[in-house]
Structure 1
Amino acid sequence: MNELRDPRHRVSPRARVMWFVSSAVTSVVLVAAVTLATTLWLTGWWTWPAIALSLVWAVVDVLMVPQWRYLVHRWEATDTAVYTQRGWWSRERRIAPMSRVQTVDFTQGPLARLLGLATVTVTTASAAGPLQIDGLEADVALHLVDDLTRKADLVEGDAT
């Protein structure tokens, strides 16, 4: 029987850089949008508090969230299941038995490719949706895709 437990492996430490850059870009857009909106269209006493709040949110998002995500994101693949744990604000811990695995995908966005990282997505016969493991070293991700594909192929049935 599979039990819900902490998966064994962490993602790559470089995932923090990827999440930092992603958070930084999002935060710049947020602060710029709030600043423009409050100074051009929604002027009033709330202009400076709104800008200050967006700046505080941006600092927290850029400096704390990538490290927090790194501490939470974990994964493991055994002969019988794939375990994942992800999230930063709320945590999601899931198990996908090999008998339910339908597809295993390898993806790399431009930033991930630049950092030598990748995402493995395991699609299952589950209403909860696919399991994602973000921030893996690209070679680890490729090996994992091959390994999971082999293991899922050994299980009889059609994964439905």
Structure 2
Amino acid sequence: MADTSGALREPAQRVSTRAPLVWAAGAVVQGLVLAAVGVAAAIFDWFTVPWWAWVLYVVAVAVYTVVMPVYRYRVHRWETTETAVYTQRGWLSRERRIAPMSRVQTVDHDQSVIDRIFGLASVTVTTASAAGPVKIEGLDQPVALKLVEDLTRRTEAEAGDAT
């Protein structure tokens, strides 16, 4: 039986199971950069950081590195149909976007250095929308390439000028 409540369902596809590893690696890098700033401040005597603040910081970064990727993986989803691209992302806040094929202007594939190491990629769908592009992060590289190919084919077949 079809859902007639008007509720927006979650997209069907999950991102790669390796995506949380990339997000955790990013969290570690962010934590190290901020720690380096704290160390530089101590070396140059800009301000003093008490030992307990360092312990609290390490615990906070560790918790963030473990919790954030797991939760993001549970939330991040995507789906394409013949008529639209549908995404859900976030972790503290949640964003759901639907981009009709008739509004798609470009479809881009990109990989960061860390993405390449883990065999992942992102697909960005630029639309004629003030909300900006729709981005699907954390896809397996072959899935991302096939998605770009499929979306490009569907966009070319769509009548209209994507505005």
Give TM-score, length-normalised by structure 1. 0.90
Q: Counterparts of 1:152 and 1:4 in 2: how far apart (Å)?
A: 24
**Deviating more after overlay: 144-153 vs 3-12:** 3-12
- Kindly indicate whether residue 113 of structure 2 is the aligned counterpart of residue 107 of structure 1: no
Q: CA deviation at 1:38?
A: 5.0
Q: How does 1:40-79 map to 2 (within 5 A)?
A: 40-43=45-48, 47-79=50-82
Q: What does the per-residue CA deviation read over 1:12-63, in whole Å, with 9 as the maximum and x for residues that have no partner? A: 00111111111111111112323442563112xx634542342232112211
Aligned 8 A contact 1:103 1:122 in 2: yes
115, 126, 131: which one pairs with 2:129?
126
Q: How does 1:1-160 map to 2 (within 5 A)?
A: 4-37=8-41, 40-43=45-48, 47-160=50-163
Unpaired runs of 5+ residues, structure 1, are none
Unpaired runs of 5+ residues, structure 2, are 1-5
Aligned 8 A contact 1:15 1:136 in 2: yes
How much is the aligned-residue C-alpha RMSD, in angstroms? 1.8
AA paired with 2:37? A
AA paired with 1:81? A
Give TM-score, length-normalised by structure 2. 0.88
% identical aligned pairs: 55
Q: Counterparts of 1:97 and 1:3 in 2: how far apart (Å)?
A: 18
AA paired with 1:4? L
